[in-house]
Amino acid sequence: MSQENSSSLKTTPLIDIHKELRGKLVPFAGWQMPIQFQGVMQEHQCVREGVGIFDVSHMGEIEIQGPSAKGLIQKLVTNDIDSMHDNQALYTLMCLENGGVVDDLLVHRFSEDHYFLCVNASNAEKDFQWILKNAGTCDATIRNTSHETAQLAIQGKHSEALLQKLCETPLSEIRYYHFTKEKIHNFASIIARTGYTGEDGFEVYVDAGDAEPLFRAILDAGKEFDLKPIGLGARDTLRMEMGYALYGNEINEESRPLEAGLGWVIKLSKDEFIGQTELKKQKAEGNRRKLVGVRLLDRGVPRPHYRVLKNGAPVGELTSGTFSPTLNTGIGLCYVSPEYAEPGTKLEVEIRKLNVPAEVVKPPFLPTSVKKD
Amino acid sequence: MEVPKDLKYTQEHEWIRIDGKKAVVGITEFAQEQLGDIVFVELPEVGSEVEQESPFGVVESVKTVSDLYAPVSGKVTAVNKDLETNPEKVNSEPYGGGWVVEIELSNEKDIESLLDADAYTEQCQKETE
């Protein structure tokens, strides 16, 4: 309950609203962000059963435009952007030559020579420098637009009906991992059908200056849907239930993305990209370990770095762990050697002095409700 | 914020209701509010000895783990088993159904170092400034 020195922290354009809504502000990745409003459990349930709104303006945005934009991004990322069409978004990794992960991100294509990337808050500046360094003299303009862009996430089954009240374009026509440039309540926005919760929903990018009036307009329109503001606490429990990787926990510059189960965004046979040689080698060698879900079979809350055991002997440590509000049980993610990776394998999580029984689960921990075509 | 006058408090945000040699212990409304939704309470064994100002259990919210400190030394004579299935009672009824343990005091002088309601209220105000 100590008071952190908040003077050096960055704030989003929505800081005043967070205070007004009595959000509990904490330092996160260099930002002062609301960890909760009414409470993590209630907010989590609100997104799973209705609709919630998140301020995720701490996330970074990088815009790349020019004749070489496509080639540059194709060289930087592991997924294949060649087959993307306009108004499409793609989840991908950006790797080092040694195969370690620089960041995980979303690539959005406006047109063949114009893209924007949504990157993690803690990596935004690093990513920008990495991109500049690898761009060399290529013919593309690269801009870190993070400070002038705000991002809101509206997530939950009522998100479409809610946003539709403020928007003329038929939102039902925006497919999963697609976006459109449209006005919401007269504010120019990029509306993407993406998210980090496992629910249907949207991520909306607007000019920082429009964020507060837009947030208020959405809150107002959301009353009939019982819309609530959601903090980073529930953002984490929601992503955990989906088994989504979090940069800094499951993946980092030392991790092997193939072992994290991210092979589906690593297109080894595409044109040359940074990390390709090493990742091909790792693929050929096979996984030394594998990221699995772990579900507690008894009471307790698993936390990052807790040891995972097999019959009392250490076999790994949790990269993430939390209490699942939906399952009412502890869940976590952990790298284990392939012999322990089979779903149903009985393990234990060491919580203080107790070895709590657990079993291996293939994530997601719950079925997802995203709007796939 | 509710700080009942008939209870004593610790700087670590436990309350204690003393009745002769026995005392019931829980965490304060301020503490539960700061912790957020409580999802797990680790209780000591009945019959175990606890020592004043030493940890005797743990409360966990979704985001944090927090030790419980014994307001007095003594023997644990009862624990609130209900919290194993309903830990949220620590949030909803911190001074009632959310009690944690009952302790038989081994040294009544321990009480002298506890805070009264006014002193505890003042401490909480300082922490939120």
* A323/B60 CB distance under 8 A: yes
In a domain, B18, yes or no: yes
Note the pLDDT of residue A151.
98
Kindly state the average pLDDT of the residues A237-264: 97
- Render A21-86 in DSSP notation, one character per residue: TT-EEEEETTEEEEEESS-HHHHHHHHHHS-EEEE-TTSEEEEEESTTHHHHHHHHBSS--TT--T
Residue A7 has pLDDT above 80, yes or no: no
Nearest of A279, A263, A286 to residue A337 by alpha carbon:
A286
Kindly state the average pLDDT of the residues A171-185: 97
Kindly state the average pLDDT of the residues A329-333: 98
- Work out the burial of residue A182: count CB atoms within 10 Å of its CB; fewer than 13 is exposed, 13-18 middle, 19 or more buried: middle
Token output for A98: 């040694």
Note the pLDDT of residue A6.
58
Question: Which domains occur in chain A, in start order?
Answer: 1-286 (3.30.1360.120), 289-361 (2.40.30.110)
Please tell me the distance from the alpha carbon of residue A186 to that of residue A164, in angstroms, as a whole number: 13
Note the pLDDT of residue B128.
84
- Residues above pLDDT 90, as percent of chain A: 96
Give yes or no for A217 touching B (CB within 8 A).
Answer: no
Tracing tokens 């939704």 back to the chain, one arrives at B37
Q: How far is A283 from chain B (nearest CA, A)?
A: 36
What pLDDT band is residue A1 in, cutting at 50, 70 and 90?
A: very low
Contact A125, A29 (CB under 8 A): no
Nearest of A93, A101, A203, A225 to residue A158 by alpha carbon:
A225
A189-246 tens-digit pLDDT: 999 999 999 999 999 999 999 999 999 999 999 999 999 999 999 999 999 999 999 9
Tracing tokens 């009240």 back to the chain, one arrives at A165
Q: How far is B114 from chain A (nearest CA, A)?
A: 20
Give yes or no for A287 touching B (CB within 8 A).
Answer: no
In a domain, B17, yes or no: yes
- Closest CB to B63 among A3, A40, A42: A40
Residue B19: in which H helix or E strand, if any?
strand B14-19
A284-299 tens-digit pLDDT: 999 999 999 999 999 9
ipTM: 0.89
In a domain, B122, yes or no: no
In a domain, B115, yes or no: no
Please tell me the distance from the alpha carbon of residue A185 to that of residue A213, in angstroms, as a whole number: 9
Q: Show residues of chain A in contact with B37, CB under 8 Å.
A: 39-42
User: Going by DSSP bridges, is the β-strand pair A313-324/A329-336 parallel, antiparallel, or unpaired?
Assistant: antiparallel
In a domain, B1, yes or no: no
B23-72 tens-digit pLDDT: 999 999 999 999 999 999 999 999 999 999 999 999 999 989 999 999 99
Give yes or no for A301 touching B (CB within 8 A).
Answer: yes
* B42/A352 CB distance under 8 A: yes
Q: What is the mean pLDDT of chain A?
A: 96
In a domain, B121, yes or no: no
* A233/B36 CB distance under 8 A: yes
How many Å is the Cα radius of gyration of chain A?
21
In a domain, B117, yes or no: no
CATH of the domain at B93: 2.40.50.100
A298-322 tens-digit pLDDT: 999 999 999 999 999 999 999 999 9
Residues 25 through 64 of chain A touching chain B, CB cutoff 8 Å:
35-36, 39-42
- Closest CB to B37 among A1, A39, A300: A39
Q: Show residues of chain A in contact with B84, CB under 8 Å.
A: 299
Q: What is the reported pTM? A: 0.94
Q: How many distinct structural domains can be found in chain B?
A: 1
What pLDDT band is residue A333 in, cutting at 50, 70 and 90?
A: very high
Note the pLDDT of residue A5.
55
Kindly state the average pLDDT of the residues A162-168: 97
Please tell me the distance from the alpha carbon of residue A197 to that of residue A194, in angstroms, as a whole number: 9
Residue A349 has pLDDT above 70, yes or no: yes
Question: Apex CA A354: angle with CA A351 and CA A358, to 5°?
Answer: 70
What pLDDT band is residue A3 in, cutting at 50, 70 and 90?
A: very low
Range of the domain at B58: 8-110
Give yes or no for A324 touching B (CB within 8 A).
Answer: no
What pLDDT band is residue A88 in, cutting at 50, 70 and 90?
A: very high
In a domain, B100, yes or no: yes
